[in-house]
Amino acid sequence: MGDRSAWALGALAVVAVSVLVACGSPADPVAAPNSPAPPQRQSAAPGTTTAPSGPAVPSFTAPYPVGEKQANAPAGRDGRAPVVTRIETTKPVVFITIDDGAVRDPAAIDLVRRSNARPVLFLTDKYVENDHEYFRQLRDAGATIENHTISHPDLKGRPYEAQRKEICGASDKYGQAYGRRPVYFRPPYGKYDGNTLRAAADCGVRAVVNWTAAVNDGVVQFQVGNRLRPGDIVLMHFRKTFVADYQAFLHRAAQDGLTPVPLGDFLG
The average pLDDT across 66-87 equals 97
pLDDT tier, 45 (very low <50, low <70, confident <90, very high otherwise): very low
SS (H, E, C) the chain: CCCCCCECCCCHHHHHHHHHHCCCCCCCCCCCCCCCCCCCCCCCCCCEEEECCEEEEECCCCCCCCCCCCCCCCCCECCECCEECEECCCCCEEEEEEEECCCCCCHHHHHHHHHCCCCEEEECHHHHCCCHHHHHHHHHCCCEEEECCCCCCCCCCCCHHHHHHHHHHHHHHHHHHHCCCCCEECCHHHCCCHHHHHHHHHCCCCEEECCCEEEECCEEEECCCCCCCCCEEEEEECCCCHHHHHHHHHHHHHHCCCEECCHHHCCC
Q: Flag whether 11 is in a domain.
A: no
Q: Flag whether 62 is in a domain.
A: no
State which amino acid sits at residue 30: V
Q: How many CA atoms lie within 13 A of 225 on its CB side?
A: 7
Q: Report the C-alpha gap between 142 and 119 in whole angstroms.
A: 7
Residue 154, pLDDT > 70, answer yes
Q: Flag whether 45 is in a domain.
A: no
Bridge partners for 144 per DSSP:
120
Look at residue 105 in the predicted model and tell me its pLDDT.
Answer: 97
166 φ, ψ (degrees, to nearest 5): -65, -40
Higher pLDDT, residue 30 or 180 = 180
Give me the number of domains the chain comprises. 1
Q: Flag whether 208 is in a domain.
A: yes
Look at residue 56 in the predicted model and tell me its pLDDT.
Answer: 85
Report the CATH number that the domain containing residue 237 is assigned in CATH. 3.20.20.370
Q: Flag whether 257 is in a domain.
A: yes
Q: What percent of the chain has pLDDT over 70?
A: 80
Task: Return the C-alpha torsion angle 85, 240, 121, 190, nearest 10.
Answer: 30
Average pLDDT value over all residues in the chain: 86
Q: Flag whether 30 is in a domain.
A: no
The average pLDDT across 241-253 equals 98
Higher pLDDT, residue 46 or 266 = 266
Q: Which of these ranges, 21-30, 150-159, 230-239, has the smallest mean pLDDT?
A: 21-30
pLDDT tier, 162 (very low <50, low <70, confident <90, very high otherwise): very high
pTM for this entry: 0.82
Look at residue 53 in the predicted model and tell me its pLDDT.
Answer: 59
Residue 46, pLDDT > 70, answer no
Higher pLDDT, residue 102 or 18 = 102
Residue-range definition of the domain harbouring residue 127 = 77-265
Q: Flag whether 206 is in a domain.
A: yes
Q: Flag whether 127 is in a domain.
A: yes
